[in-house]
Structure 1
Amino acid sequence: MWKPDRLSDQTLFQQIADDLERRISYGEFPAGSLLPSERKLAEQLGVNRSTVIQAYAELRAHGIIESRSGSGTRVSKYKWGATPKHTPNWHRYAEGGNFLPNLPFLRRIREALGHNQTLIDFASGELAGDLSPVEEINLLMSEHEYTSYLGYDNPQGYIPLRQALVAYLKQYRGIQTTEESILITSGSQQSLYLITQCLLSPGDAVAIEDPSYCYSLPMFQSAGLRLFRLPVDDKGVRPDDIRSLYKKHRIKMVFINPNFQNPTGAVLDAERRKELLDVASELGLPIVEDDPFSLTAYDGVPPKPLKSIDPIGSVLYIGSFSKIAASGLRIGWMVAPHSVVERLADARQQMDFGLSVIPQRVAAQFLKSAYFVPHLERLRMHLLYKRDLLIEALHKELHELVSFTVPQGGLHLWCKIIPEVNDNKLLEEAIRRGVIFVPGSVYGSESGYVRFTYARARADEIGPGISKFSAALQEARVNKY
């Protein structure tokens, strides 16, 4: 976020006024739109409120903004002189359309992290920089030529990467496939988006886990899908619940994250896996298996994916580099029947003509390199260490105020807050004290659950972060409403 330069010869208020005028002229604040309050803008910019008051006075003097008691400060509808000049009502456009915005809690978390880089981050579901294979990838890029061709690539994905994934999936996930049955995507979310847009229709009923990462993705509602929940216990979902949902609602697809499920960390029981595939076969139901966390198994023995024991091809399998290497590579994949891959690749070509070939080449080289296995071993070791630090801190700071099941892989710890607490109050108190997390209601659970992600925070931040959370919880309990 822009901030005024205190070393500049120009006064702070004039810098702020100039920046606001520029943003107004660019359409960031359309005519008639509400500007931040003086107090809020002063906090964001790190200046005294009186400085913002001066800046607003400067803009009012030029007719660019106008203030009314009780209505705040707005951009003037006639800001460029006496003659009315109408700009588009961008707020109305932004609030329209079929694609819904993120949930309010997620937008608040993103805003808080953007404004305060010092927050201890238990919210971001990605690896910290020191857990990613940065040195290894730099070495690979210095050893190989990546810029021989920079045109559009095959919309299904870079062929050598798909070939590398055939070997990877066979060796590490027990999945037999061919390069023609693999689609490269920018990650699991793009895979899910393509499925919801191309394989389903508005009004279709689908089953998702409860709680579930899928619940936090408005893309399902944007596609007009009806969501029905499958409760998750310590053994995952119950296959009989799928049969019941099919009878009641004629669900057309099941979305599941069976290995170190996000957010609970649960692993689908081996017997339930077989029953789930039997139910899918009986009903002709496709299963979408999202499997981002398996290779983080702390004992080094990842649970087998459903796809590896799928005898008739009921499962669409989704994977990604985001949770085992680096989210910034933007590399994911889907294993599906070739007819489905062709359909989704055609849609992808309409969207972006395919991914950049450079990260695909990097990913292909990394999968085939001698760096891959040592990186996974180091990743598991560090995640286990951070998990144990988090558990130790929870026991120390919160005693009997929380309950949880210790995850055996993944990046998250799903935590039940024993006393009654308001999610919004707890989140705001935590942010105020310098720590952030994801409230459980984001994933469809009732109030009083939290997801702590321990892959992003530094090891030396975990103890202090839980101490800050504990203080926030105590305050939220005192002032529930």
Structure 2
Amino acid sequence: MEWKPKRGSGVPLYKQIAAYLEECIIKGEFPPGSFLPSERELAKKWQVNRSTVVSAFEELRASGIIERIQGSGTQVSSVHGRFPQQRVPNWGHLVEAGSFLPNYPLIRKIRKETLDHELIDMASGELSPDLFPANAFQTIMAQQPFDYHLGYGHPQGNLELRQTLVHHMKKWRGIDSTASSILITSGAQQALHLIVQCLLKPGDAVAVEDPSYFYSLPLFHSAGVRVFSLPVGGDGIDPDDVLELHRKHRIKLIFVNPNYQNPTGTVLSLARKKRLLELSVRLGIPIVEDDPYSLTAFDGEPPPTLKSLDPMANVLYVSSLTKIVASGLRIGWIIGPQAVMERLADAKQIIDFGHSVFPQWLASKFLGSDSFVQHLQALRHSLGRKKDLITFALHDLLPTEVEFVEPAGGIHIWCRLNREVNEQKLLKQSIKQGVAYVPGLVLGSNKNCIRFTFGRAEQEQIYEGIKRFSEVLKSLLHDKSGESSVNVP
């Protein structure tokens, strides 16, 4: 349980906080030279007055444990009576010098803010707790004994789960596969990381949709890969843009999310899917298809995947249970040529020695049960209802301020503002009003765009979330200071 000061304990709150922070410093959580969280941040976290945290800081400052650095914040002292006068590692320099880049500051801020349970979360790309199939999971665990050995499993993942996925992919997504062509991963994120690290080298060029979820990931830049944009229109990308990019930059991989694309919600038309596959075969460029949303089709008729149309095995297919079952299961998979799966499995073994056995067992039992069919029907109905609620709210509250196209599946709605506004200021003020979303500037080159996610928020929160956002937007649009040019980090 996370620490909190205890009211009514007889010890003043500020002294409890001072003692706790001193203990964290001594134990190395905040080493010498590092900065403590701000007074405002800690006051919000522990639900105390800011003056209480200020008093705690003063207590530590009087003891020489911390010091105020003008313009920077509160820093743990490099030398004081509690520490031996020896050199300590420069953790700040080491953190900044690592080859794997951190998330963009704006993404980190949004994720940090969405931990606040009072915030209406229209930013996180996950499902709300009520959509988790808790009863089905409890039934499986009660009726089917878990009799697996809890040791290291097969490098490509549990065989039973991979065999279940063979049937699942054929029935639900029209994809022919074999157990040996499947690698189980810790969600789709790890799958993408393995592909980038194992199949590309610094300087390689890749083509990525714009806007795209991929733009918010540091994977490509950490690997030293050059990223080139494929603009997304009403029918998805134009495959002939790939041809032009390849002529100029010798594209090594194409990354696409063709069904209910994140963030635009568009579906790559069948004609364009076939044209993209044709170019892939002609040019010898592999395609990475990220497909988290196709089964969420509100009408129950998912569009075909690229992989199901791929006769030459040019597509590496990536999917997961994150958007259709539960993000916490951390079950994802890649389908592709066996040689590629073996290479990626070897890299995964280096990273984590294989995926946890229990969630693989649970996922296999659930996907192979009638409960999955019932869950999927309920999920589609609920997400369709949430989509209706958010589109109604946008039409009702922002009829002239935003433009959008209703998605036919997925969990995102992409909005374009009809007037320019300072995007960072808009986000900051919206968070203060208690609603979070993802600004378009972290998802590509499109300015004055917003991604609202309706999967995470409860149904009764959706209208209120758009109401809070609309109040902030209208205030900024009537404020000349809010009409400044976009401030992109």
User: Superposition pairs for residues 388-407 of structure 1, below 5 Å?
Assistant: 388-407=388-407
CA distance in 2, matches of 1:21, 1:160: 50
Q: Does 1:472 align with 2:472?
A: yes
- TM-score, normalization by structure 1: 0.97
For residues 344-423 of structure 1, the aligned pairs below 5 Å read: 344-423=344-423
Q: Whole-Å Cα distance in 2 between the matches of residues 449 and 333 of structure 1?
A: 31
Give the 5 Å matches for 1:194-273.
194-273=194-273
Q: Distance in 2 between matches of 1:228 and 1:296?
A: 29
Q: Is 2:454 the partner of 1:435? A: no
Aligned to 2:77: 76
- What SS does the corresponding residue of 2:6 show, helix, strand or coil? coil
| SS of aligned partner of 1:88 | coil
Q: Number of residue pairs matched?
A: 480
In 2, Cα distance between the equivalents of 1:325 and 1:36? 35
**Pair 460,69 (structure 1): closer, same or farther in 2 beyond 3 Å:** closer
Q: Is the counterpart of residue 276 in structure 1 residue 283 in structure 2?
A: no
Q: Does 1:51 align with 2:52?
A: yes
1:162 is aligned to 2:162: yes
After the TM superposition, which of the residue ranges 53-62 and 135-144 deviates more from structure 2? 53-62
Q: Does 1:105 align with 2:106?
A: yes
Q: AA paired with 2:160?
A: P
Structure 2 counterpart of 1:227, one-letter code: V
**Alpha-carbon distance between aligned partners in 1 of 2:353 and 2:149, rounded to the nearest angstrom:** 15
Given the superposition, is the C-alpha separation of residues 149 and 53 from structure 1 closer, same or farther in structure 2, using an over 3 Å criterion?
same
Structure 2, gaps ≥5 residues long: 485-489
Q: CA deviation at 1:43?
A: 4.1
1:460 and 2:460 aligned: yes
Give the match's secondary structure for 1:292: coil
Q: Kindly indicate whether residue 27 of structure 2 is the aligned counterpart of residue 26 of structure 1.
A: yes
| 8 A Cα contact 1:429 1:476, kept in partner | no
The 3 A distance-change label for structure 1 pair 140 and 86 is same
Q: Spell out the pairing of 1:43-192 with structure 2 (5 A cutoff).
A: 43-67=44-68, 72-80=73-81, 84-114=85-115, 116-192=116-192
- 2: CA distance, partners of 1:401 / 1:2: 44
Tell me which moved more, 215-224 or 84-93: 84-93
Q: Deviations over 1:280-315 (max 9, x none)?
A: 011000000011100001111101111111111110
Is the 1:17–1:58 Cα contact (8 Å) retained in structure 2?
yes
Cα shift readout 1:18-77 (whole Å, capped 9, x = no counterpart): 111122123232212333444454344333333223212221232212235556432111
The verdict on how the C-alpha distance between 1:31 and 1:460 changes in structure 2, with shifts beyond 3 A counting, is same
- Cα contact 1:407–1:413 (8 A) shared by 2: yes
Residue 239 of structure 2 contacts residue 276 of structure 2 at CA under 8 Å; is this kept in 1? yes
Q: Distance in 1 between matches of 2:83 and 2:233?
A: 66
2:118 and 2:42 map into 1 onto residues whose CA distance is: 19
Is the 2:43–2:50 contact (alpha carbons within 8 Å) kept by the matching residues of 1? yes
Contact 2:211/2:446 (CA < 8 Å) preserved in 1?
Answer: no
2:114–2:124 CA contact under 8 A, matched in 1: no
Deviation digits for residues 331-364 of structure 1, max 9, x if unmatched? 0111110000000111111111100111101111
Q: Match for residue 5 of structure 1? A: 6
- TM-score under structure 2 length normalisation: 0.95
SS of aligned partner of 2:415: strand
- How far apart, in 2, do the equivalents of 1:140 and 1:372 lie? 12
Amino acid at match of 1:78: V
Shift of residue 261, structure 1, vs aligned partner: 0.4
Q: In the TM superposition, what is the alpha-carbon distance from 1:398 to its structure 2 partner? A: 0.7
* 1:20 partner amino acid: L
Question: Taking structure 1 as reference, are residues 6 and 233 closer, same or farther at Cα in structure 2, changes over 3 Å only?
Answer: same
Question: Could you give the per-residue CA deviations for residues 74-113 of structure 1, whole angstroms, max 9, x where no partner exists?
Answer: 2111123595232211111111111111111110111112
Instruction: Look up the equivalent residue of 2:205 and give its one-letter code.
Output: A
Q: Give the Cα separation in 2 of the matches to 1:418 and 1:437.
A: 18
Residues 129-160 of structure 1, C-alpha deviations (whole Å, 9 max, x = no match): 11121111111111112254111111101000
Specify whether residues 72 and 368 from structure 1 end up closer, same or farther in structure 2 by C-alpha distance, changes over 3 A only.
closer
Percent identity, aligned pairs only, is 53
Query: Is the Cα–Cα contact under 8 Å of residues 429 and 475 in structure 1 kept in the other structure?
Result: no
- Alignment root-mean-square deviation, CA: 1.5
The structure-2 alpha-carbon separation of the partners of 1:37 and 1:316, relative to structure 1 and needing over 3 Å to count, comes to closer
Looking at structure 2, the residues matched to 68 and 175 of structure 1 have their Cα atoms a distance apart, in angstroms, of 59
1:325-336 matches, cutoff 5 A = 325-336=325-336
1:123 aligns to what SS in structure 2?
Answer: coil
| Alpha-carbon distance change, 65 to 362 in structure 1, aligned in 2, over 3 angstroms | same
Output the CA distance in 2 between the equivalents of 1:297 and 1:434.
Answer: 30
**Secondary structure at 2:251 match in 1:** coil
Q: Is the 8 A contact 2:215 2:443 kept in 1?
A: yes
How far apart in 1 are the matches of 2:409 and 2:444?
22
Q: Is the 8 A contact 1:404 1:414 kept in 2?
A: yes
Structure-2 separation of matches of 1:437 and 1:152: 40
**Range with greater deviation from structure 2 (68-77 or 155-164):** 68-77
Residues 68 and 339 of structure 1: is their aligned pair in 2 closer, same or farther, counting only changes over 3 Å? closer
For residues 14 and 346 of structure 1, do their structure 2 counterparts lie closer, same or farther at Cα, with a shift above 3 Å needed? same
